[in-house]
Structure 1
């Protein structure tokens, strides 16, 4: 049982960890890349700082808006499915009981036990039983648009705050190496935490995130240099 509990806890971690890590990674990579691209164009330190603030604000709002719209669409779909299920329960209660019974039989119960479980769950909460076992909707997995939007915005802002602080503490001459170093170090730490929480191998996770992030920063630095003005 302890092993089973550990596995279930790790799976539960992945549910909240994935969007949090992705949001923070996006905040670090996009803001650091933006800052490095602007700095490589020989912009003033003030302009670089403004670009970091703008990147954090725009990115957080974009993440919140996108997540809200996406999750709200999911919530609408769930609501429509539940309304359809209520109609089916009113029209054919016995048929819906047999449908639930068939689900439990596919999960390994024999027919008499499956029917008994279906009948008892239907008597207790018919729509809840069908929502959970037929539609895969539960109070824990139900779509929450505002919560998702706030979570995405906050995780992005937390990540974007790292290159922003690096810019604020730097000078015009060392802003690029300081931002790049702080971003890659933070990404490596995030990759390590995510891998350990999910019981995955740490090194491949760290190498993957730092390689592609470094490439993104290098590309924007190249574009900034190409289209920049003389210092």
Structure 2
């Protein structure tokens, strides 16, 4: 006689909407930092190729940081506000449909669960139980993938993007403090280290290939800095 093995308790994995939102926020923060790092590095590399004077480098770098941070904040605010307005409009529409045509909406929910692979009886039972608890939440989830309690916040998105961009931009700005002879290589090395870290973190958050993500960012960063340095060199010798 085979003795049955005792059941092992398996902790529930965090697959709820709040976890997904946090992961998206973290991923956006990493990308914002990467943008601040690379755009500011490219800017100061271009100026560094034209002059060894620290003052114009700092002015260009700080101006680029401020412009980029504000641009990220405004762009993220507008984008997320549009998304939030769309979500609210969809919620209002769903509330109206549930009020005016409750039977039709119930049958629609049954159809959605049937389309996902449930039998007619099971889908009807699920829809009945969900309707008894919170019909609006059931329809928002099944039809639109929206959680009314977890709508995107445009202010949070704008602030986090600006802060992330600023943190990334600080790295090449600090490199400007290096001696003139070491300034360009210091900017390049610190930028590449920051890009490698950003690539690793973003790949880990998305459970992707770390090496591939890091290589892509390093190659892109090298190309951007080489291009801006070349432009700065040309302008530095031709513009008076």
1:45 aligned residue? 54
Whether contact under 8 Å (2:30, 2:201) holds in the other structure is no
Q: Following the alignment from structure 2 to structure 1, what is the Cα–Cα distance between the partners of residues 131 and 39?
A: 50
* 1:146 and 2:185 matched: no
Structure 2 CA distance for partners of 1:140 and 1:60, relative to 1, 3 Å: farther
1:121 aligned residue? 130
TM-score when normalising by structure 1: 0.90
1:217 aligned residue? 225
1:31 aligned residue? 40
Q: CA deviation at 1:113?
A: 2.1
1:176 aligned residue? 184
Whether contact under 8 Å (1:42, 1:229) holds in the other structure is no
The correspondence for 2:211, drawn from 203, 206, 211, is 203
Q: CA deviation at 1:125?
A: 1.6
* 1:68 and 2:77 matched: yes
Whether contact under 8 Å (2:175, 2:183) holds in the other structure is yes
TM-align CA RMSD = 2.5
What stretches of structure 2 of length at least 5 have no aligned partner? 1-8
Whether contact under 8 Å (1:45, 1:171) holds in the other structure is no
Structure 2 CA distance for partners of 1:157 and 1:203, relative to 1, 3 Å: same
Q: CA deviation at 1:58?
A: 1.0
Whether contact under 8 Å (1:36, 1:221) holds in the other structure is yes
Q: CA deviation at 1:196?
A: 3.0
Q: Following the alignment from structure 2 to structure 1, what is the Cα–Cα distance between the partners of residues 158 and 104?
A: 39
What stretches of structure 1 of length at least 5 have no aligned partner? none
1:92 aligned residue? 101
Q: CA deviation at 1:170?
A: 1.1
TM-score when normalising by structure 2: 0.86
Q: Following the alignment from structure 1 to structure 2, what is the Cα–Cα distance between the partners of residues 203 and 2?
A: 31
Structure 2 CA distance for partners of 1:3 and 1:191, relative to 1, 3 Å: farther
- The count of residues paired between Structure 1 and Structure 2 equals 229
Whether contact under 8 Å (2:31, 2:198) holds in the other structure is no
